[in-house]
Chains A and B, each alone.
Chain A
Amino acid sequence: MMLHVAQGIIANTDQLTRADQAIGDGDHGVGMARGFTAVEELLTNSEFASIHQGLKAIGTTLMSAMGGASGAVFGTLFRGGAGGLQETTVFDSHALYNFLDQGYKAIQIRGGAEEGDKTMLDALGPAVRAAREHIQETIDRSLLAIAAAAEEGKEATKTMVAVHGKAKTLGERSLGYVDPGALSMSLICRLMADYAASLT
């Protein structure tokens, strides 16, 4: 599933670049592509003993290959998210909720942002809550729910004023633009959901 996500992120480089050109310095697309290209190589060439090891390795790879704020944040999503999944053998809706929730908390500690600050947390937060709401359902249904929630959250960032990162000095001029990190986060969720849907 993560291989599908990696390939999808790489395929969407231009879209991510354009979003970051609007309210950043334009390097988000190339950074994400670089990070997920390394993840693609990792997943193609390695076997992991457990889901926990695999997600942690994805996080470490993103952190080193991507660099930048995005590397630190998305790397922490996977490394932090992997934290509660040591005993997990099946990535079901419980694991999904656990992963997103732990990832969210780890990112908050690392970066100090809150929802409403116009960051990727504004897509991840709604995804966490949707995962909790749909925790009793099958994984394909909960993934659909989190993807929809993340997309709504991403759209909502247009109404927010940036408080962190390179966009923060834009102040009111960041209004009307989607946050690139939130765009990436919602894209990751959508790609996960699409993959699960393609299996059923």
Chain B
Amino acid sequence: MAIAYDIAMKEARPEEDGSAPIVAVKNLHKSFGINKVLDGVSLSVSRGETLAVLGRSGTGKSVLLRLIIGLEIPDSGSVCIHGQNIAGLALDRMGEIRKKMGFLFQHSALYDSLTIAENVAFPLEHHRRDMSRSERGDRVKQLLAEVGIEGDLGKMPSDISGGMQKRVGLARALALEPEILLLDEPTAGLDPISSGEIDDLILKLQRERQMASIVVTHDLHSAKTVSNRLALLDQGKVVIEGKFENLQQSDIGLVKEFLKQS
């Protein structure tokens, strides 16, 4: 795991190649009724970079991802993808933006009436109508092989383990060759070995595809493994953002507490 982390640190240093952020969130505010979830959050992610968003349960981490992909509309602030503010865009206009994004849901959100292969083929059937059925089938097999699933492609999501569901969810998220990858608690509910395998898989995919990725997690070990930078959210605000060493050197009480408890 430590070796994998070092490789990630060496290979992805956006501050060195000076790439502009692909995803830029500025001063986001979001409330649900009287519950203020995000209170002025600003973050950015560049190509080839992985940002881990940490925090306790209920601090708005998943809401942040949902705002970025447009499943929620912010009360104020902006969500810029390639410089275009997408906050509040109409559904059909969001479609073109979303084709560049892949989203792995916390519980995978696989379509339970479709097989594993059909789940991964779903985005291709709707957006790659130029592909023939056999081309689509080959592409699905390739995607599933990339995430370590070969054979048993006719199984239903209820017939496979949680770890395999995550892998299928990841393969589906990668189907349209996204530039941006959003992962909501990718290791939630998994045993330590499966968590490690998912972390290694995310790292491998990031190294190969150089996407701008945001990983939301409460697992500090996972965050250290897969990310270049970490941001800690608390009470709707970014308490600290930077590399893991920055967090270790921080004097902020909450950060120390978080590192101690993790």
Q: Do the two chains bind?
A: no
